[in-house]
Amino acid sequence: MTGHLDAGVRDADGQLAPRLLVIAQDDYHAAYVGTTADGRQFFVTTPFAWALDDGSGSEFAARYLFDAVGALVDSTIIPLGIRPGSGALPGNVAHFEEQEKAVERLLSEIQPVLFCDITVAPFSVMAHGHEFGLILNGPDSEDDHEWYWNVTVEPGDYMAFYAPWDDGEYDT
């Protein structure tokens, strides 16, 4: 759903595109969100590219840094190759040594940190042949009248945020 992305367009509930959204710190996909000692906000996560007919997919570790008002100021994305082990589908919670080390490294580089809810703007960055970020999604076409703004964590679409944008809740 990334068709017409005019932020002035209203969805089926009459809502405009979100300028900011809350990511509530939890013990699942949002375990590593919070603030740094210098006031920046961060989101460390493990995106993935789905395995398709022409490949085996890819795992990544990513750190997004935002200023105090939620604008992206830096991104670091580490490619980890394919998921080792039994071939569990990407997106399922899985931890493997290389991923854990990459997450630890990304966090250690910004220490000290406070894990807490953050409020950030949707964004998109290209890296390693994929679009990464909190991607704003709109209608599929001009004729799509039953749609709602949403923001997905990509690649992998493993977190999806919907209005209200300030509750921090997401679908998996």
In the chain, how many domains are there? 1
Instruction: Please tell me the distance from the alpha carbon of residue 46 to that of residue 16, in angstroms, as a whole number.
Output: 29
Residue range(s) defining the domain that contains residue 61: 22-136+155-161
> Is the pLDDT reported for residue 3 higher than 50?
no
**56: in domain:** yes
Quick: pLDDT tens for 123-151.
999 999 899 999 999 876 666 678 889 99
Look at residues 71, 74, 65 and name the one whose alpha carbon lies nearest to residue 34.
65
Is the CB of residue 48 less than 8 Å from the CB of residue 59? yes
Q: Kindly report the pTM of this predicted structure.
A: 0.88
> Phi/psi at 59 (nearest 5 deg)?
-110, 150
Quick: pLDDT tens for 10-58.
888 888 899 999 999 999 999 999 999 999 999 999 998 876 655 567 8
Residue 47 DSSP class: -
**143: in domain:** no
Instruction: Please tell me the distance from the alpha carbon of residue 73 to that of residue 26, in angstroms, as a whole number.
Output: 23
**7: in domain:** no
DSSP-H helix ranges across 32-130? 97-108
